[in-house]
Structure 1
Amino acid sequence: MPSNRFQCSRMPLGSPSEPKERQNVNSLRKGNPTMRLTMPLLLALAAATLTSVGCDSEAEQNRLTLLEQENTELRTKLDERNKALDAANGELRQANENLRNQAEDFATQAEGWQAQSAGSFDNIEGVTATYGPNDITIAVEGDVLFDSGRTTLKTAAKNSLNRVTEILRAQYPGNSIIVAGHTDTDPIRKSGHKSNHHLGFERGWAVRNYLKGRGIDAGDIAVMSYGPDRPMSSSKQSRRVEIVVAQ
């Protein structure tokens, strides 16, 4: 009577009918020489790769750190230069402001001088006042002051000089004064003076002495002569004595 039990036959290990998966497992169990050589190489390669990646990452981090330091230094230098530039611009603005203030003060002072003096020297016989940025020139006609070729003041000249002296003492006390003698270009013929320069100086000295006698400090007065070197449009205008009052 046939048996109902299931009977399975055992096939030899590694036989052709054995599944490939099992054959591979069996090969590993038997210690396949190729696999034994390949695995260490793979592990070494993986370790080298990790080491290389780690070194590259550290080098990149160092490079980034250096770049950040350089960037910080450059920003610091830029800030310092910007601050220096701002300071220089501030000083320049202040200097310009000071110059503007000085110019305004000077203009105000000049206006004050003109306001004081424009009317002061008006209506004085033979006197003309000219206002410059640094001085006032009071020209007195030579024919009002002196006779031809002479250095002695006329009596009528003293009236004009008295009024000039009063203004100088009242409005410009202590200011430096230059008294300059001028002549025409005609050569000296009859007078005893060696030249027009000598004549111009003697006339300037006569005016200086008169101002001194009327209360102007002699230490504030200097005398010089231009002679014929600065002629005017006519001989009459050229013969003059200028009293230059410095600011």
Structure 2
Amino acid sequence: MAVAAATLLPACNYRQLQQDREALMRQNQELQAQNSAVMDENDRLARQPAPEPVMAPTPAAPPPPMALEPAGFEAIRGIEVDDSGPDQVKLSLPGDLLFPPGSATLTADARKTVGQVASVLNTKHAGSTVGLIGHTDSDPIKKSKWASNEALSLARAEAVADQLAASGVSRGRLETRGVGAQQPRGGKKSADRRVEVVVSR
């Protein structure tokens, strides 16, 4: 009996080993099949064309700024309006309308006119800067407290600036200078005597 049992044990072990070996071979075949499938998929993906890059949309260009319009100034009696371009409007206020001869004090009518200019500046050109340029004719000053035409022209520009400020235009928007008789308009000397109001973006 002992000999038979000893003979039976190796036979059982052999069959178990055979079964284990067959199971491992099946697992190996399955793994090889899976590996082959993965390699085939990789090859397929490698043959596909690369996707087109997605470009970010180009932002639309901002619209061009609207041109400054002289609208509103034309209704003011006695002044000239020059539409000087998309970024500038120039007004010419005759000196004889604004001041007595040789003076830098605005007349009562002039204060009303400058007040109307201020109203348009505040309602239609609130973000614009305002340059005030005083001009005179070429006649030399004889009887006046002003030492020169340049000094008189600057005083007149500042008088208009003061009235604009009194009418509600911020002083920070106003710039003044006087050029005397350096920029004549030609023709009558009365046309040379003026204060220009340059409204700029």
Same topology, TM > 0.5: yes
Give the TM-score, by structure 2 length: 0.65
Please give the per-residue CA displacement for 1:90-126, whole angstroms capped at 9, x wherever unaligned.
Answer: xxxx9xx96xx87xx35xx22xx33xx24x1224222
Aligned to 2:77: 125
Aligned to 1:211: 164
Aligned to 2:182: 229
Aligned to 1:246: 200
2:98 pairs, out of 145, 165, 169, with: 145
Query: Is 1:174 aligned to residue 131 of structure 2?
Result: no
Q: Quote the RMSD (CA, aligned, Å).
A: 1.9
Q: Structure 1 unaligned runs (5+)?
A: 1-93
Q: Which has the higher contact order (CA 8 A, sep 6+)?
A: 2
Which amino acid is 1:127 matched to? Answer: I
Which amino acid is 2:199 matched to? Answer: V
Larger proportion of helix: 1
Q: Structure 2 unaligned runs (5+)?
A: 1-57
Q: Using the TM superposition, name which of 124-133 and 215-224 deviates more.
A: 124-133
Pairwise CA distance, 1:239: 0.4
Classify the secondary structure of the residue corresponding to 1:163: helix
Query: 2-side partners of 1:185 and 1:212: how far apart?
Result: 29
Pairwise CA distance, 1:156: 0.8
Aligned to 1:42: none
Query: 1-side partners of 2:78 and 2:189: how far apart?
Result: 15
Please give the per-residue CA displacement for 1:136-168, whole angstroms capped at 9, x wherever unaligned.
Answer: 111111001000000100001112111111000
Pairwise CA distance, 1:177: 1.0
- Work out whether residues 174 and 217 of structure 1, in 8 Å CA contact, stay in contact via their aligned partners in 2: no
Listed as ranges, the matches of 1:13-92 within 5 Å are none
Query: 1-side partners of 2:88 and 2:106: how far apart?
Result: 25
Query: 1-side partners of 2:127 and 2:105: how far apart?
Result: 27
Task: Give the % identical residues.
Answer: 30
